[in-house]
Structure 1
Amino acid sequence: MSGYLAEDEVIDHSHPAITALAARLRADNPGTTDFARAAFDFTRDEVKHSMDIADPVVTVTASEVLEQGAGLCFAKSHLLTALLRAEGVPAGLCYQKLSNGRGGHFLHGMVAIQLDGRWYRQDPRGDKPGVTTEFSLTDERLAYHPREELGEADLEPILASPDPGLVAALRNADNTIDLVLNDGLPADLTTRDDLPRTELPG
């Protein structure tokens, strides 16, 4: 589990703003599951999805997301992962492959949290008309449900670090809105055998 508690340049969970927020959420919610739910609710509700508010600022690292108060699904997932790891809760990144409606695909980012020895996928994207997400340890309450007929899919690995191809796409962009509308997001995961990973639960 060490990889799912580790810090890297994106999941910068030792940043003072991250540790302070995580400690406050934990103090108000001392139980591990309650803390995980509070971290999820904060990320879903208090950090806005860039496309929902037309915010062009590109955020990548967890601390950038917290400072800006906005990010794409991936960025919000980086923040949630950092908050959880800051308080010792194992968490990783997982993805879906979704249709862009024009014959292509793009990645959608989420978080997998390990509680009581099991992995649970959570989607902190944020709600909008037609999209509702909730923290759940029973049935998954995700923003999107892949449609096989459109080539959509849940991608299997839970990564300890963000997909490098996705991070590169974000780092190379100077406008979040343009990145999304011009199909600048990767359509699949980068193949890297050296990245810590586990498989999604059946």
Structure 2
Amino acid sequence: MTESLDATLSPTEFLDHRSPVVREFVDRALAGTGAATDTDRAVALYYAVRDGIRYEVYDADLSRRGLTASRVIERGAGFCVHKSIVYAAALRAVGVPSRIVYADVRNHLASPRLRELVGGDVFRFHSLTSVHLGGTWLKATPVFNKLLCRLYGIKPLDFDGRTDSLYHPYDEQGRRHMEFLTLRGEFDDVPYSLVTDGIRQAHPLLFASTDRTAAGSLVTEAITVEGS
């Protein structure tokens, strides 16, 4: 039976790909790339999200408005949950089906302060994006931008539109980096209460308020550790 992809192309509250903000982001990302196929466009948009939206877990907005693709683009920053939403919305904007994926992961290279706020090295509801290309679903992770990867000694994740793009298990020095523990599922839209309540319950110290995470800077923390 042929899979119906209608729900994975539709605009939603969070994947608001018909908004002018998302459309402008997509047009800017594809300008001058010569992207002629779905795969070309999916790859170009991957890098636009990976390096054009700054990865930052601090001062992140987890309100309903804060988790819309248009708002994340306006802020220009967010962590995995936010960036996966932007990528999924951007894909739908060019007619490529997408879903949001959630999993629990162990991050061995988190900064000391982030480990304290998270309560260890296991992060609940890590997010990535599922992309439908060439008749199959691929997983892509447009999360850590180049600067952050360089500062933390992690190889940036690439995506070729043909194979999965997941976190490498080791960093450039051969140290353990990230491993997947539990796949929580794929969703046509953001299951808001499931995700936000789950993150708050698992990592209460990370939050400065109901909807916003604690203040700080991953770049500053990386530079401080590197210089100490």
TM-score (norm: length of structure 1): 0.73
Are the equivalent residues in 2 in contact too, given 1:73–1:110 (CA < 8 A)? yes
Does residue 158 (structure 1) correspond to residue 186 (structure 2)? The answer is: yes
Structure 1 counterpart SS, 2:124: strand
Are the equivalent residues in 1 in contact too, given 2:133–2:162 (CA < 8 A)? no
The aligned counterpart of 1:9 is 13
The aligned counterpart of 2:55 is 49
The aligned counterpart of 1:182 is none
Q: How many residues align?
A: 170
Larger radius of gyration: 2
The aligned counterpart of 2:144 is 126
Select 1:107's aligned residue among 111, 115, 125.
Answer: 125
Question: 1:144 & 1:163 partners in 2: Cα distance?
Answer: 27
Tell me the percent identity: 26
The residue type equivalent to 1:159 in the other structure is: F
Question: 1:65 & 1:134 partners in 2: Cα distance?
Answer: 22
Deviation at 1:44, TM superposition (A): 0.4
Does residue 136 (structure 1) correspond to residue 140 (structure 2)? The answer is: no
The aligned counterpart of 1:176 is 213
Moved more, 114-123 or 91-100: 91-100
Provide the aligned C-alpha RMSD in A.
2.7
Unaligned stretches of 5+ in structure 1?
179-202
Unaligned stretches of 5+ in structure 2?
107-117, 170-175, 201-208, 216-228
Deviation at 1:30, TM superposition (A): 2.4
Structure 1 counterpart SS, 2:42: helix
Select 2:46's aligned residue among 40, 43, 53.
Answer: 40
Distance 1:167 1:116, change over 3 A: same
The residue type equivalent to 1:42 in the other structure is: A
Are the equivalent residues in 1 in contact too, given 2:130–2:140 (CA < 8 A)? yes
Deviation at 1:166, TM superposition (A): 1.3
The residue type equivalent to 1:153 in the other structure is: T
Question: 2:12 & 2:210 partners in 1: Cα distance?
Answer: 20
Does residue 76 (structure 1) correspond to residue 94 (structure 2)? The answer is: no
Deviation at 1:26, TM superposition (A): 4.2
The residue type equivalent to 2:126 in the other structure is: H
Question: 2:56 & 2:195 partners in 1: Cα distance?
Answer: 16
Distance 1:37 1:19, change over 3 A: same
